[in-house]
Amino acid sequence: MAEKSIASIDRDESVKYIERAIKTFKKNKPMDLEKFWQSALAEIELQISRPNFVTWFRNSRLIEKQDGNALIALPNNFSKEWIENRYYKTILKALRNLDESTKKIDFIVVPQNQTNSIKNDIIKKRQEDTSQLSFSEFKVDPETNLNQRYDLNSFIVGKSNELAFAATQSIIQEVGTKYNPLFIYGGVGLGKTHLIQATGNAIKNLYRGKVRVKYVSSEKFTNDVIWAIRNKRMETIKEKYRLIDVLMIDDIQFIGGKTATEEEFFHTFNALYEHNKQIIISSDRAPKFIPTLEERLRSRFEGGMIADIGYPDYELRCAIIKSKTQEKQIDIDDETINTIASKVQKNIRELEGVINKIIFYQSRNNEESISSIVNKVIEETTQKPIKSININQIIKIVAEYYEISPIDILNRSRKKEIAESRQITMYLLRDLLKLSYPYIGRKLGKRDHTTAIYAYEKIAKELQKNPNLNQKIMAIKELIEKDGGDS
Ligand code: ADP
Ligand code: MG
């Protein structure tokens, strides 16, 4: 087994780290507000869930601390209210741990761009900052190929991505020696590119250019190789890639089967690896499922750390909606957040699409309330009809997923896996094709309509509380969509 879990080690390490930080801090006077706040945050982080922490605290700043009163700046009214109502005590406790004289906390709203200026004591320059900030959203650094829009602060962590996230955190601290290579895999739109680019940006900033980082899509890598072969300039490519300290290749599944590219990648990989250079790879599936990947590359990948990114659960979806709407400074109530999170489940890209559309509609028609727009938008975005998919295809795909034969689903076997696959098939036939229960029962081994109702309801209910089942259904739906799209 190449997969190892690191979450437990990390937690212990981070507790120790925080304890050390607090000790050092207590010794260090005079008081540096930013350091003080960072130490407090480190404690708060241990008290609340990671998604909540990231969502609510990452843009917070301590801007004043005098006579036992602390003043905390938050980017908008929404987060101010939220934090005041839910985290007041947690914050107070964390501040008191660091400084017993803390009595009271006040909060003020300072939009993001202004907080930065306060920090630098140049409040007057606000307006110039705003335009620069939005411009940098799309900036790609020509040296690293990294887009600055991706940063770790905006990456929300939940159960489905915490292992991958933790692995990148360790790498940032110990480039090249800890998890090498790091192989991150997961379905479309689940945050692979965001996470690896953000990791690259963090390394670049942390080591201030001393560590050379390069991000390439596997397409770009392939093009480089092809160009070099055509122009008989293999040396150039060798030099170019082997001078790198951290190489990130996105969507590696695309190089599988391209012999020359794989060959060159293999050599580049070895050259970097032998020199303890960090390699981070992303893919839409685990190495063992990239059919055309050469064995030697596969075993190299499996020799490192493999972490998957799964489908976001309900909690993470809520946290992401909160974070994205907060970023865009729109006010959105809890109920609306819940509606979006329960209906938009496919991936994070789709979730973002829905949010952007809501913002767009609202900007066109300010009168309309967000809650009235939401349902319309969700329907438009998520109800893409699955093209020409029929019952048999669904049965076939479920069977493939469970590695059983379609006949098993139709037969009467009560084996646990087979029974589950059958119920899921019934659920999907109802959910996707809206078929009637009697029809579903008849088609699946001449069963009674009550069996189909039972199966549908059982799965629908179970989905609310069982993340594993949720992952399975999302994966199957993705396969169905691919199949339907292709045919
Ligand atoms: P992938 O590379 O896996 O297809 P991306 O990294 O392109 O997915 O993510 C799709 C979109 O969703 C991006 O806009 C990204 O910023 C956003 N996103 C993905 N995961 C997260 C997350 N955990 N927190 C915040 N935004 C996310
Ligand atoms: Mg990607």
Question: For residue range 326-335, what is the model confidence (pLDDT) as tens digits?
Answer: 888 888 889 8
**Terminal-to-terminal C-alpha distance of the chain:** 37
Kindly state if the Cβ of 190 falls inside 6 Å of ligand 1: yes
Average confidence (pLDDT) over 59-81: 85
Mutate to test the pocket of ligand 1, among 349, 351, 356 (most ligand atoms within 8 A of CB): 349
Angle at 25 between CA 19 and CA 30, to 5 degrees: 170
Minimum CA distance residue for ligand 1 atom 13: 349
Judged by its nearest atom, the ligand closest to the C-alpha of residue 54 is: 1
Question: What would the pLDDT profile of 308-323 be if each residue is shown by its tens digit?
Answer: 999 999 999 999 999 9
Beta bridge partners of 216: 249
| CATH code of the region 152-306 | 3.40.50.300
Average confidence (pLDDT) over 434-445: 91
Amino acid in position 347: N
Helix (H) or strand (E) holding 77: helix 77-98
Coil, strand or helix at 190: coil
CATH 3.30.300.180 domain extents, the chain: 6-126
Q: Is the pLDDT of residue 26 over 60?
A: no
Beta bridge partners of 73: 61, 108
Kindly state if the Cβ of 155 falls inside 6 Å of ligand 1: yes
Kindly state if the Cβ of 352 falls inside 6 Å of ligand 1: yes
Judged by its nearest atom, the ligand closest to the C-alpha of residue 186 is: 1
In angstroms and rounded to an integer, the radius of gyration of the C-alpha atoms of the chain is 25
Sheet holding 104-109, edge to edge: 61-66, 69-74, 104-109
CATH 1.10.1750.10 domain extents, the chain: 391-486
Average confidence (pLDDT) over 358-376: 78
Judge contact between 84 and 60, C-beta under 8 A: no
Mutate to test the pocket of ligand 1, among 150, 155, 156, 194 (most ligand atoms within 8 A of CB): 194
What is the predicted pLDDT for the residue at 13? 56
Structure tokens at 310: 């799964």
Q: Which has the closest alpha carbon to 444: 418, 482, 463?
A: 418
Q: What's the pTM? A: 0.61
β pairing state of 104-109 and 69-74: parallel
**How remote is the CA of residue 268 from the centroid of ligand 2, in Å?**
22
Structure tokens at 392: 């048999």
Residues that constitute the known binding site for ATP: 189, 191-193
**How remote is the CA of residue 153 from the centroid of ligand 1, in Å?**
13
Judged by its nearest atom, the ligand closest to the C-alpha of residue 164 is: 1
Residues that constitute the known binding site: 189, 191-193
Residue that wins the pLDDT comparison between 291 and 307: 307
Q: Which has the closest alpha carbon to 456: 419, 418, 428, 414?
A: 428
Judged by its nearest atom, the ligand closest to the C-alpha of residue 192 is: 1
Coil, strand or helix at 109: strand
φ, ψ of residue 256 in degrees (nearest 5): -55, 130
Amino acid in position 47: Q
| CATH code of the region 6-126 | 3.30.300.180
Contacts of 243 (CB under 8 A, 6+ apart): 212
Kindly state if the Cβ of 356 falls inside 6 Å of ligand 1: no
**How remote is the CA of residue 351 from the centroid of ligand 1, in Å?**
10
Structure tokens at 444: 């699946």
What is the predicted pLDDT for the residue at 255? 82
Helix extents (H) in 181-242:
192-206, 218-230, 234-242
Structure tokens at 170: 């360790």
Minimum CA distance residue for ligand 1 atom 5: 191
Q: Is the pLDDT of residue 98 over 90?
A: no
Kindly state if the Cβ of 204 falls inside 6 Å of ligand 1: no
Coil, strand or helix at 310: coil
Q: Which atom of ligand 1 is nearest to the CA of 158?
A: 23
**How remote is the CA of residue 279 from the centroid of ligand 1, in Å?**
20
- Peptide bond connecting 385 to the previous residue in cis, omega within 30 degrees of 0: no
Distance, CA of 144 to CA of 262 (rounded, Å): 22
Distance, CA of 470 to CA of 344 (rounded, Å): 13
Judge contact between 234 and 266, C-beta under 8 A: no
CATH 3.40.50.300 domain extents, the chain: 152-306
φ, ψ of residue 211 in degrees (nearest 5): -105, 120
Assign 214 a pLDDT band (cuts: 50, 70, 90): very high
Distance, CA of 137 to CA of 201 (rounded, Å): 13
**How remote is the CA of residue 141 from the centroid of ligand 1, in Å?**
19
Least confident of 145-159, 362-376, 412-426: 362-376
φ, ψ of residue 368 in degrees (nearest 5): -70, 135
Architecture label for domain 391-486: Orthogonal Bundle (1.10)
Residue that wins the pLDDT comparison between 84 and 364: 84
φ, ψ of residue 185 in degrees (nearest 5): -130, 155
Least confident of 7-11, 65-69, 299-303, 316-320: 7-11
Task: State the fold for domain 314-381.
Answer: Helicase, Ruva Protein; domain 3 (1.10.8)
Residue that wins the pLDDT comparison between 215 and 225: 215
CATH 1.10.8 domain extents, the chain: 314-381
Distance, CA of 466 to CA of 274 (rounded, Å): 43
Positive or negative CA dihedral for 12, 13, 17, 23? positive
**How remote is the CA of residue 263 from the centroid of ligand 2, in Å?**
23
Kindly state if the Cβ of 189 falls inside 6 Å of ligand 1: yes
Assign 120 a pLDDT band (cuts: 50, 70, 90): very low
Mutate to test the pocket of ligand 1, among 216, 284, 348, 478 (most ligand atoms within 8 A of CB): 348
Average confidence (pLDDT) over 125-142: 47
HSE toward the beta carbon, residue 403, CA cutoff 13 A: 0
Distance, CA of 241 to CA of 264 (rounded, Å): 10
Mean pLDDT in the chain?
82
Minimum CA distance residue for ligand 1 atom 18: 191
Beta bridge partners of 62: 72
HSE toward the beta carbon, residue 162, CA cutoff 13 A: 14
